[in-house]
Structure 1
Amino acid sequence: MLAKRAGAVLLSTLAVTAVGAAAPAAASAATTDSVLAWYDTTAAAVAAGGATTQVTNSRTWAIGWLAAARAQNGPHSTAYRRAALAGAVHQTLITLIPAQAAAADAALAADLATIPDGRAETEGLAAGRKEATDLLAERADDGLDPASVNAPYTVPAAAPGIWQPTPPAYAPATQYGNRVARPFALRSAGQYRPAPPPALDSARYRRDIAEVKAYGAVDSTVRTQAQTDTATFWLGSSFVLYTPILRAAVEQSRGSLADRIRLVALFHVASVDTQIATSDAKYAYQLWRPVTAIRAGGDADWLPLHATPAHPDYPSGHNTYSGSAEQILTALFGPRARSPYTIPSPSAPGVTRTYTDWHVPSLENVDARVWSGIHSRSADEAGIALGKAVAAHTLRNAGRLLAG
């Protein structure tokens, strides 16, 4: 129901924007799918030369594609719209990932070669570049650069329930600075902060830890091979795992060129804000990880199947990302893909999985973090809910975001 309401608000907003506008000029069918071409160019640039922090790379996508979406406003020909997309994304990539400028230049030349020369192409390219330049200036010093994201964190004194560095590396905390970064749409990082995690002496928390201890141990005797495979498949970066999922939606979409650009833009705007909200909640509650809880409970040698990330348990960041992605895709595409889509995993080389909707990946992600031994189920479920709430907020504010 939440997805339907948010999607309806967005569609209503876009409809209102179009009221009274002149009919778009007729355009010949594009011979090149510019949206997929620039999607793949963005993905390749980020993979080859992106930042070390996930949210910084999400920001690159958000800026480039939100600028492209803003450049679509008004009645324009297809040539103009394609050139505007090219101008916005190209300008963003050469600015934020200059090491990939040559590849971006080549992509621009290839795309423009398929767009008819003339005023529409020239004006569209200029409009896209201007929107990108303006948005880059607007987002300057937003706190999403790697140094700001990983601002130093002073570990509090050890106490029951309080996060401490985890074995085997006992690495310093990461993503502490996210919580004070500037969101795109949220009024504040804590606007949708979830309720506190279950109390340590509650039946729910005891059940959560017992589940992780049994199913998430490196030497678990109850976790099945299928569960181990799921944990390993979803271990990698959510940003990387969801790049082909979003691409499948973009490729299968029956929407206009502008609609498909907006889908990518709002997906990544919601993702950035979700990651900011996640760190806000993590460091507000500072809940210890399961490995710390289990060892404090008497099993001093217990280790999880996979190494625990260096930040607090609640809520799960993997699952806030999943919740946000599912919400955006369901609202703007529909609950099911038009045809099955297949994705790889950075943490399971050579392995692929095939899905038919956007919900099953979320379900698998919830289980995976428990079976990896790195999150409580409460943290996973709170993550899904937080991601959906932030994404729904993004959709409710889509008109403002897209207008610029």
Structure 2
Amino acid sequence: MVEQTMRSHLAALAALTAATALISPPQAQATRIDLAQEWYDITARTIAAAPAPTQITNNRTWAISWLAAARAARHGHDRTFTEAAVATAVHDTLINLVPSQAPEVDRALATTLARIPNGPSKSRGTSEGSAQAKRILTERSGDGLDPASVNAPFVVPPAAPGAWRPTPPAYSPAIQYGNRAAKPFALRRADQFRPAPPPALDSARYQRDLAEARDFGSSTSTVRTEAQTTVASFWYQGSQPAFLTPLRVALTESRGSLTDRVTLVAVFNIAAVDTQIATSDAKYTYLLWRPVTALRAGGLPDWTPLHVTPAHPDYPSGHGTYAGVAEQVLTALTGPRTREPFELTSPTAPGVVFRYQAWRELSRDNVNARVWSGIHTRVADEVGVELGRKVGRYTLDALDRLVR
């Protein structure tokens, strides 16, 4: 099926490429365009136009597309080959994974290929890109990261102190339970970096963290400042779309070769997928209840968090693990901070603009935000960041194996 889909699109694309070359003015063809940024933006637009309902599935699309491109790029000996290989690899994977956007992605590839000089190197590059796309799509077939598998049914355990149960107001069924059974890209198994159990309910650490969530995370808190409320609302957005801009900033600032920069995008998303697998493994192993459940069971039946609690266990925090893996990968590949501050916006805090420069600042705000939202204990956030860092380090160490 994959091969048949690619053949039909490539046949149509050949004619489209020729037509585009005829109408493209010479000055446009001579303009040097940053191909990594160009195809980063194409990937982002393609997924945004037809996103999967599960975050990890969208990360999977990024990881597959850019891993194919990174592998293809490493077989080249000149820029013509590499540009043709990268664009073709991303194109071929995207039209398979997001088929509704194939016409737009076909046109994007035609534009790119019309800009690249014709010749044997270009031909070899497009062939290699297609071959690597087909290879990775075959490797990842049936990996358990489709939405139905990700949200596999979970049987809630009997009510008991500390045990997770659906949370108000909707009391929705658990989500992301199936992540833990999915096939990782780099990790050997989902529990490879499983953290130690959360603190006991009667421990000083847990009681302190629960009290913090109670006081600072309440919808009617009198101690949470306006600035803290803004941070909580800003980072209530999903992690995967939230880190699209930071990753693009890193890609733009990188002084590496095209191959190095393509690899940066691939490694980031591979590590992000594996971190979410590891997170769900820990969440559904320990099944720690959320602050709202603990506080209502402890004598505050009307306590309500600032933001609605996501439908999965507390420990560790998914936002924490995502921030931790992003910090680790971006620091290792681009340094601990950007040359200039960059701006971020959020759909969950309209009109708010934050400025960041060090990657660790994003981890700091994610940790605080989930406490101030009233949806996590601080220990869940901090352990999450460390879990993400561990997965990030391991993925970077496995780089040669992944891209060969």
What are the residue-to-residue correspondences of 1:4-403 with 2, within 5 Å?
31-403=32-404
Letter in structure 1 aligned against 2:236: L
Secondary structure at the counterpart of residue 267 of structure 1: helix
**1:171-222 alpha-carbon deviations (Å, 9 max, x no partner):** 0000000000000111110000000001000000000000000000000000
Contact 1:337-1:356 at 8 Å conserved across structures:
yes
Deviation at 1:350, TM superposition (A): 2.7
Over 3 Å counting, the alpha-carbon distance change for 1:324 and 1:30 in structure 2 is farther
Distance 2:182 2:171 in 1: 26
| Structure 1 residues 92 and 200: CA distance shift in structure 2, 3 A | same
* CA displacement 1:233-276 (0-9 Å, x = unmatched): 00000101100000000011111100100000000000000000
The answer to whether the 8 Å contact 2:76/2:125 transfers is: no
Q: Distance in 2 between matches of 1:226 and 1:111?
A: 45
Deviations 1:268-296 (A, max 9, x none): 00000000000000000000000000001
Q: Which amino acid aligns with 2:401?
A: R
Deviations 1:373-398 (A, max 9, x none): 00000000000000000111101110
Instruction: Give SS of 1:355's match.
Output: strand
Closer/same/farther in 2, CA of residues 30 and 286 from structure 1, 3 Å limit: farther
* Alpha-carbon shift at residue 50 of structure 1 (Å): 1.9
**Matches of 2:144 and 2:240, distance apart in 1:** 19
Secondary structure of 1:130's counterpart equals helix
Q: Is the 8 Å Cα contact of residues 179 and 277 (structure 1) preserved in structure 2?
A: yes
| C-alpha distance in structure 2 between counterparts of 1:344 and 1:122, whole Å | 41
Residue type of the alignment partner of 2:91: H
Shift of 1:349: 2.2
Where structure 1 has 5 or more consecutive residues not aligned to the other structure, the ranges are: 1-28
Cα separation, 1, equivalents of 2:328 and 2:311:
27
CA distance in 1: counterparts of 2:260 and 2:76, whole angstroms? 14
Give, as a single letter, the amino acid of the residue that structure 2 aligns with 1:250. L
Q: SS at 1:71's partner residue? A: helix
Q: Is the 8 Å Cα contact of residues 327 and 388 (structure 1) preserved in structure 2?
A: yes
Letter of the 2:119 counterpart: G
TM superposition shift of 1:30: 7.3
Give the Cα–Cα distance (whole angstroms) in 2 for the partners of residues 256 and 30 of structure 1: 19
CA contact (8 A) 1:71 1:128 kept: yes
Give 1:115 deviation, angstroms. Answer: 1.0
> 3-state SS of the aligned residue for 1:337?
strand
Residue type of the partner of 2:244? Answer: T
Mapped to 1, the partners of 2:31 and 2:208 lie a distance apart of 56
Query: CA distance change for structure 1 residues 293 and 246 in 2, over 3 Å: closer, same or farther?
Result: same
Over the matched positions of the two proteins, sequence identity in percent amounts to 60
Kindly provide the CA deviation profile for residues 80-109 of structure 1, in whole angstroms up to 9, marking residues without a partner as x: 101111111001110000011111112111
Whole-Å Cα distance in 2 between the matches of residues 106 and 343 of structure 1? 30
TM-superposed deviation, 1:75 = 4.5
Q: Name the CA distance, whole Å, in 2 between partners of 1:65 and 1:163.
A: 37
- More displaced 10-residue stretch of structure 1: 339-348 or 175-184: 339-348
In structure 2, C-alpha distance between the alignment counterparts of 1:325 and 1:129, rounded to whole Å: 29
Contact 1:342–1:355 (Cα < 8 Å) also in 2? yes
